[in-house]
Amino acid sequence: MSKALVVFSGGQDSTTCLIQALTQYDEVHAITFDYGQRHDEEIERAKALAKQFNIASHKVMDVTLLNELAISALTRDSIPVSHTLMDNGLPNTFVPGRNILFLTLAGIYAYQLGADSVITGVCETDFSGYPDCRNDFVKAMESALVQGMDRKLDIVTPLMWLNKAETWALADKYDSLDVVRNQTLTCYNGIIGDGCGDCPACDLRSKGLHDYLENKQKVMHSLDEKNRAKNIN
């Protein structure tokens, strides 16, 4: 029996990954991390969607210790989300160490579940500039986990080389465009669906949706080509 664990936030990307995983694995579990993020609605969304998709299990893990260490607009209500990059070239929504911690804990939990795959919706094609969303980082984490636990583990990144329009196309391919559009939470201000329309996350999401809806056939073809190339390699 094939088992997968999805790192699940209830946002567009991780929900699309969860939907795809349900067609590819015999048993799908999810883990959501409560790190004292800017809005609690993210966790409630993840709970509701996990129940809706009737997955094997959904674990919500308290990792609020990250909040004590990582100062960011996503961990401090007093810091407004900015469209301007910080002096280090990163957005002020970057939470240092977040994916290092998340993938480490997900790997440990996958070990307990007997799952060989951890799925995460990170992407370095259309993304917010976070260094812990890059392919080199993910491969390094995968190697560390395999060596540290002496057990086979694949960190699967279905969206790594997709742009946001292609991510929307992927949801549509699984007849879930409306669910992802209306029931997920990507907005940094905690508004479900199309969001506030102003924060960087909403900008990226809405631009991708517009590009997909305006060029459905072209974007779907591009998605199919990328998936075909990935399967060949």
User: What digits encode the pLDDT tens for the residues 21-61?
Assistant: 999 999 999 999 998 776 788 899 999 999 999 999 999 99
pLDDT above 90: residue 225: yes
pLDDT band at 78 (very low <50, low <70, confident <90, very high): low
Exposed / middle / buried, residue 125 (Cβ in 10 Å: 0-12, 13-18, 19+): middle
CA–CA gap between residue 50 and residue 70 (Å, rounded):
27
Per-residue model confidence as pLDDT tens digits over 137-166: 999 999 999 999 999 999 999 999 999 999
pLDDT band at 69 (very low <50, low <70, confident <90, very high): confident
For domain 3-163, the CATH superfamily is HUPs (3.40.50.620)
Interval 76-99 mean pLDDT? 70
Amino acid 39: pLDDT: 74
Amino acid 79: pLDDT: 65
Binding residues for Zn(2+): 187, 196, 199, 202
Binding residues for ATP: 8-18
Residue 3: CB partners within 8 Å, gap ≥ 6? 25, 26, 27, 28, 29, 56, 113, 114, 115, 116, 117
Per-residue model confidence as pLDDT tens digits over 176-223: 999 999 999 999 888 999 999 988 889 999 999 999 999 999 999 999
Amino acid 105: pLDDT: 96
Q: Tell me the longest C-alpha to C-alpha distance in the chain.
A: 48
Quote the distance between the C-alpha of residue 193 and its chain's center. Answer: 16
Average pLDDT, the chain: 90
pLDDT band at 64 (very low <50, low <70, confident <90, very high): confident
Residue ranges covered by each domain of the chain: 3-163
Backbone angle region of 113, left / alpha / beta, with phi > 0 → left and psi within -120 to 50 → alpha: alpha
The answer to which of 63-67, 131-135, 166-170 has the lowest mean pLDDT is 63-67
Q: What are the phi and psi torsion angles at 4 (to 5°)?
A: -135, 150
pLDDT above 70: residue 233: no
Residue 64: name the closest of 88, 38, 96, 35 by CA: 35
Residue 107: name the closest of 98, 119, 122 by CA: 119
Amino acid 81: pLDDT: 67
Amino acid 71: pLDDT: 67
Binding residues: 8-18, 187, 196, 199, 202
